[in-house]
Amino acid sequence: MHPIVIIGSGMAGYAVAREFRKLNPDHELVMICADDAINYAKPTLSNALAGNKAPEQIPLGDAEKMSAQLNMQIRQHTWVKAIDPEQHQLHLEKDGQESLQPYSKLVLAVGANPVRLAIAGDASDEIHVVNNLNDYKAFRQNLANRENKRVVILGAGLIGCEFANDLQHTEHQVTVIDLAPRPLGRLLPAHVAEVFQQHLEETGIHFVLGTTVEKVSKMDNADYLVTLANGQSLVADVVLSAVGLQPNISVAKKADIHSSRGILTNALLETNQPDIYAVGDCAEVNGILLPYVMPIMQQARALAKTLNGEHTAVHYPAMPVAVKTPAAPLTVLAAPAEVNVTWETEELEDGMIAKAIDVEGVLRGFVLLGATAAKQRLTLSKLVPDLIPATL
């Protein structure tokens, strides 16, 4: 019997391995990854500064520890050059040497890559992105080497706002730039986004919205000149891009695995190719792409059972996302994009509750701003229909 092979050592890959091992301690498991396979919780990267965590304190275990813990062979720094679905094998490359890896079942947990804007200037290749622990180490090292602590963040989405809050809390001067008219424009209705922005601005975070970065240039004193499309320019010590992620679908496409925004799967997390599954940030499940922790855990539990012979569909209940912005505590459950909703808002002393109601009067999503509103999370979640029901 060939091993079950997992491609990717991120949260999704390790979650599948962990859940499978709870059910089956013995079946051969192999993890293949292009990096060092260090296990860590990626969401901790955007609030590690305020938590006083050095990059070295973030890892939960190296490859050796995880291999022993999960009784799993981990092949680090190994590239998957091609998947051969017909032969059930992978073409691998490590240090210039090619090899084959057979599989009985294959799990694609290949994550997502940062979106990189086309930005001019001789410092455009020095813009940081933080999509993994090594990226984060480089970002923190650069921060530590700079005196003035002026950080420009491209992108006022969830990750951009979390990093802005974390940096401002640690006495950095933060400017956030986005083409959208408000922060978290895709997640929040306008009236909530305005209040959220005000709360962050009260901490000293500066927003420049409705424009984009055209150019990042080096200055004589090692600072950066950030030139915006609206003619404005800013001086920065560090520039961080957080404009979003794109699911990594390249290796899947080469193997004729269907993809759209992500790798397409059904509720069993099966792709169109036999014995190949997808989980995590790369997986578009029944047309739904949710790059958050709770969906990953739901996927991992269901897929572990399927890999162990008990076909189990993933269940997506209402899964609100807690945004790590302590200056403006926020919990969001986005309504499905295809559903028309109207917003009902209740003002509170320290925030607001905004409910997305569909034409039939059913609650389809909500936004909770402030500590008092956050207490309604469980009560409201129970009223929202499942995104993917508990049965096939």
Tell me the two tokens of residue 89.
């094998």
CA dihedral 138, 139, 144, 146 (to 10 degrees): 110
- Domain C-terminal end among 212, 241, 270: 241
Tell me the two tokens of residue 364.
């389809």
Pairing between β-strand 97-102 and β-strand 89-94 as defined by DSSP bridges: antiparallel
- Domain C-terminal end among 307, 340, 357: 307
In this prediction, residue 389 carries a pLDDT of 87
44 and 147 fall within a common domain: no
In this prediction, residue 222 carries a pLDDT of 83
- Does residue 164 form part of some domain? yes
122 and 181 fall within a common domain: yes
What is residue 300's three-state secondary structure?
Answer: helix
Query: CATH number of the domain that 334 lies in?
Result: 3.30.390.120
Number of domains present in the structure of the chain: 3
- Does residue 203 form part of some domain? yes
- Does residue 29 form part of some domain? yes
Question: Taking the mean position of all CA atoms in its chain, how far away is CA 343?
Answer: 27
Convert the pLDDT of each residue in 58-70 to its tens digit: 999 999 999 999 9
Strands of the 351-358 sheet, one edge to the other: 321-323, 330-333, 363-369, 351-358, 341-348
- Does residue 147 form part of some domain? yes
Percent of the chain with pLDDT over 90: 95
- Does residue 313 form part of some domain? no
Beta-carbon count within 10 A of 56 CB: 9
In this prediction, residue 220 carries a pLDDT of 86
pTM, full prediction: 0.95
- Does residue 323 form part of some domain? no
77 and 34 fall within a common domain: yes
276 and 345 fall within a common domain: no
Query: CATH number of the domain that 101 lies in?
Result: 3.50.50.60
Helix (H) or strand (E) holding 12: helix 11-23
- Does residue 51 form part of some domain? yes
Gyration radius of the chain's alpha carbons: 22
Which parts of the chain register pLDDT below 70?
A: 391-392
* Residue 135 domain boundaries: 116-241
In this prediction, residue 391 carries a pLDDT of 67
In this prediction, residue 148 carries a pLDDT of 86
135 and 219 fall within a common domain: yes
In this prediction, residue 67 carries a pLDDT of 98
